Structure 1
Amino acid sequence: MPEGVEDQVRSAFEKIGSVLAEAGLGHDAIVEMTTYHVGIEDHFDLFNEIRCEYVTEPFPAWTAVEVASLRRPGAIVEIRVIASSV
């Protein structure tokens, strides 16, 4: 797992893109996104900047949740998406 916030966020969106591509979709197919953040105040602006590089208008529904920790040691962010081909 990448160590820095920027690397973790970019890696997460790249992995999401790979999964979507296997289904013949892109990031524009995302209709709902939930993100889980450790220390959201410390990295939210950077996360949002990177998010906008991958997820563009019309933006999907998005809920950002701050958590005390994530399952993987050292993880700062986790992203869950729902995509649609319709």
Structure 2
Amino acid sequence: MRTHDTQRRSVNPPPTDALYDRLHFSQATRVGDMIWVSGQVGVDTTTMAPAVGMDAQARLAFEGVRTVLEAAGAGLEDIVELTTFHTDLRGDMPVFSRVKDEYITGRYPSWTAIGVAQPALPELLVEIRAVAVAGCGRQDRSPTG
């Protein structure tokens, strides 16, 4: 896609297209090279049940982000901004940070972590949303450039 392309495209990889029809939101929206990924949570897509524990939920949420970005023509390396929502911000941060660093391994994006009281499902511990610029992570540039 060209950078000056302003066509808006919804991204809903299978099996998330049912959510689009039922709840009226896209897993991501792409305009040009910019991609906004909706919040991804630690739910197993085969059972639609939340995983148990921060480690498992964070992994499923990051896998969801990866799947959506790939369907949009990008990858985790293209994330420029990460926003995470935590039900136990202080208590779960060491585990979450360790998992995050397994998925995002360099050229770290801007990151905001927010404590929340009430996620969409009571069993959820974390939700991850991201903004990416397709192709920017593959550029050979310095971390500050």
Paired residues in the alignment total 86
Structure showing greater Rg: 2
- 1: distance between equivalents of 2:111 and 2:51? 24
Which string of whole-angstrom CA distances, capped at 9 and with x for unpartnered residues, describes residues 13-50 of structure 1? 00110011112211001010110000111110010010
Q: Shift of residue 4 of structure 1?
A: 1.4
Residue matched to 1:43: 92
Q: Shift of residue 64 of structure 1?
A: 0.4
**Mapped pair 1:53 → 2:102:** yes
Bigger relative contact order, structure 1 or 2 (CA pairs below 8 A, ≥6 apart): 1
Q: How does 1:23-38 map to 2 (within 5 A)?
A: 23-38=72-87
**Mapped pair 1:15 → 2:67:** no
**Mapped pair 1:72 → 2:121:** yes
**Please, what TM-score do these two structures have when normalized by structure 2?**
0.57
Residue matched to 1:6: 55
Of 106, 111, 123, 1:62 maps to: 111
- 1: distance between equivalents of 2:68 and 2:102? 17
Q: Shift of residue 57 of structure 1?
A: 1.6
For structure 1, the residue ranges without an aligned partner over 5 or more in a row are: none
**Please, what TM-score do these two structures have when normalized by structure 1?**
0.93
Runs of 4+ in 1 over 2 A off after TM superposition: none
The structure with more helix, counted as a fraction of residues: 1
Q: Alignment partner of 2:129: what SS?
A: strand
Q: Alignment partner of 1:47: what SS?
A: helix
